[in-house]
Chain A
Amino acid sequence: MAMTITEKILAAHTGRDEVSPGELIQADVDIALGNDITAPIAINEFRKAGAKKVFDRDKIALIPDHFTPNKDIKSAEHSKVLRDFAREHRITNYFEDGEVGVEHALLPEQGIVLPGDLIIGADSHTCTYGALGAFSTGVGSTDLAAAMITGKAWFKVPETIKFIFSGKLNKWVSGKDLILFTIGKIGVDGALYRSMEFSGETIENLSMESRLALCNMAIEAGAKNGIIVPDDVTRAYVEKRAKRPFKFYKSDEDAGYTDIIEFDTKTIEPQVAFPHLPENTRNISDVGDISIDQVVIGSCTNGRMEDLRVAAGILKGNKVAPYVRLIIIPATPAIYRAAMEEGLFKIFLDSKAIISPPTCGPCLGGHMGILAAGERAVSTTNRNFVGRMGHPESEVYLSNPAVAAASAVKGRIASPEEVMTR
C-alpha cells in the first residue's frame, strides 16, 4: 500500500508493514521530552503510578528552558524536580546551567532527535523535529509520564495535507514567512488533527534552520505534525551530530493525501501576523504605521544562527530607536558562542540591543522582557494570543528576524528594505 512519510514512520514504530489514517495504534517512542513547566506534572504522575524505573534513560530528554535561569522561587522548585529526577534515574539527555538551551533548538543541534524517529514531547512545538524527517508531536504531561514508564504512546494515524511550494524565495523571505503565509491561508485550525507535509522545489532549497522554523509552527495551524522528506540538506545537518543510526523515509508517489495545496513563492512577501492569532497575517507592504515598544529575536522558532546573522546584517551600523527595547536571545549555548565568535555580539551591543542567555523567557510571558498594558512588540516567536508576552492589554506582532530587526531600528513595524536602502 502506498504511504506517506508520516504513515511509514508510524508503521515502523508499531512493528507493522502498514498503517492507514484513522487507525488507533500504540507505537514505540525514540525520545520523550519534557521541560520545566510540563515535566514536574509528569514526574508527579510517574511517582503516583508507583513507577520505580524509566523505560530507557537514554530516550528521555529533560530540558529546563522556559522559566530558566529560574525566575522565582516556584520556578526554582520546578527546576529542582527535574534535576532530582534526572539524577535519580541517570537521565542521559538532561541539560542545565551553561549547557541548556531552548529545547527545540537544542535537541536537533545535539543530534538527540534524528530522521526517522518517533518523538513525543510535552510541549506543543515538539512538531519542530519534522524538519529532520521525523514524526514528532506535542502531548500532555500525563502522556509523557506514561511514555517514561512504558516507552510507548497511543496515536490516531493522521490524515495528511501536502503543501507544495514552487519558485525562488523573494528577498528577506524565510521559512518563517512560508509558515505564517500558510497559516494565513488555511487558518489556525486549517490542519486540525492532521499532518502537514511540506514539499516542492522551494523546500528542497531551504536551509535546515528555515525548515525547523517552518515545521515549528505546524501546531499553529492545529496540525498533529509538520514534516519534510529528508534529503542532502538533512544529511549534511545530521551526519556530524548523530551518535546513533538514523533512517530516511520518503512518501510514495501515489500516497493518499486529503488535500494538496500549491503555493507559488513569487507572491510571498515577508509576513506579519497581527494580534491576537497567528492567522491574522499581512504582507509587510500592507502593514501601515504601527509604532512599537519592544522587539524580541529568539525562541524555538527563530533563535538560530541564520536568524541572528540576518538580524546582525540589518543592525550593523544602526541603532535601536529611542524608547524601544531590542532583546536578542540566542537559542542555545553553541549558538551563543558562535554568535560571539563571529562578531555578532559587537554589532548587537553597538546597536543597543540586550543579549539574553538562552531561554524561552518572554515568548510565553515568562520573564526577560514582559510587556506592560498598552505596549506593543514585534517578535520572531510563534504565538500572539491575548496576554502571551505579558499584560492582557499588550500586543504581539509575529515576524521573521529581518523584519524584527528593521522594526527595532525604525521604532515601528518596518520592512528590511527601509533600513538597507538608505
Chain B
Amino acid sequence: MLLKGRTWRFGDDIDTDAIIPARYLNTTDPEELAGHCMEDADRDFVKKINSGDIIVAGKNFGCGSSREHAPIAIKAAGISCVIAKSFARIFFRNSFNMGLPILECAEASEEIKEGDEVEIDLGKGEIRDLTGGKTFFARPVPPFMQSLVEAGGLMEWVKRAR
C-alpha cells in the first residue's frame, strides 16, 4: 500500500487532548471532529493541510485518553499516516482499529523536515523523503494490519471476513 503527501511536524508527547480536545467529544461525527483536529497544538492545522498529508512527531504520540475520536479526527481530516518516534499504546491500537496507518521510526521522526514530500510503502515499512532524498525503514506493517487499513478499520474488516 502506497501513501504520499507533505509533512507537518509536531514535538514529543502530543496528547489526545491536543489531537481532539474533550470539549468536542459530545459528537462522534468524523467530519465535525476533523474540523478540530490538532486544534490545541496548532489552531490553523486543518486549514493548512491537504488530503494525503503526513504527520511526523516525536515520542509518545497520542498519550492520554483512550478516545477513538483522536485517530478518527486525524483520518477524517485527510491525514494519510502518522510517523513518530513512539506511540502511546491505546492510540496505537485505536489507529489500526480505525484504519489509520501509523509507523514507528526514530530516524524519520528526527530527520524529516516540515513540508517535505514523503512517500510511504506500508508493506515494506519504507519511508522515502523525496525532498530530503533519504529513505528510512520502519518495521513493516504486517499483512493483517494492512488489510485493516485497506478495509477502513477493524469492524469493516470483520464484516468482510464473515
Contact = CB atoms under 8 A, between A and B. Distances in A.
Interface of A: 37-38, 40-41, 44-45, 48-50, 66-67, 71-72, 74-75, 78, 121-124, 126, 138-143, 145-146, 188-189, 192-193, 219, 222, 224, 277, 364-366, 383, 385-388, 390, 392
Interface string B84-110: 001011100110011000000000000
B16 to A, nearest CB: 8
Contacts of A365: 17, 21-23
Given A124-B66, A139-B66, A146-B154, A37 B25 contact: yes
Given A37-B67, A139-B66, A387 B93 contact: no
Contact of B13 (A72, A75, A189): A189
A385 B16 CA distance: 9
Contacts of A44: 28
Contacts of B90: 124, 138-140, 219
Interface in B53-79: 59-60, 63-69
B18 interface: yes
Contact of A189 (B39, B86, B93): B86
8 contacts: A41-B69, A67-B25, A123-B66, A143-B97, A188-B13, A188-B63, A366-B25, A387-B17
B18 A385 contact: yes
A387 B88 contact: no
Contacts of B64: 124, 219, 383, 385
Contacts, number: 122
A44 B94 CA distance: 16
A386 B18 contact: yes
Given A45-B155, A49-B159, A222-B88, A141 B40 contact: no
A373 to B, nearest CB: 13
Given A74-B26, A123-B66, A386-B40, A143 B60 contact: no
A357 B68 CA distance: 27
A375 to B, nearest CB: 15
A75 B90 CA distance: 24
B158 interface: yes
Sorted from nearest, which 7 A-B pairs have the closest CB atoms? A140-B94, A74-B26, A189-B60, A364-B22, A142-B97, A124-B66, A385-B17
Given A48-B159, A138-B66, A142-B98, 9 more contacts: A72-B26, A146-B154, A192-B89, A364-B22, A383-B64, A386-B17, A386-B18, A386-B40, A386-B41
Nearest to B89: A193
B89 A222 contact: yes
Contacts of B13: 188-189, 277
A140 B68 contact: yes
B15 interface: yes
Given A48-B155, A78-B26, A222-B63, A392 B97 contact: no
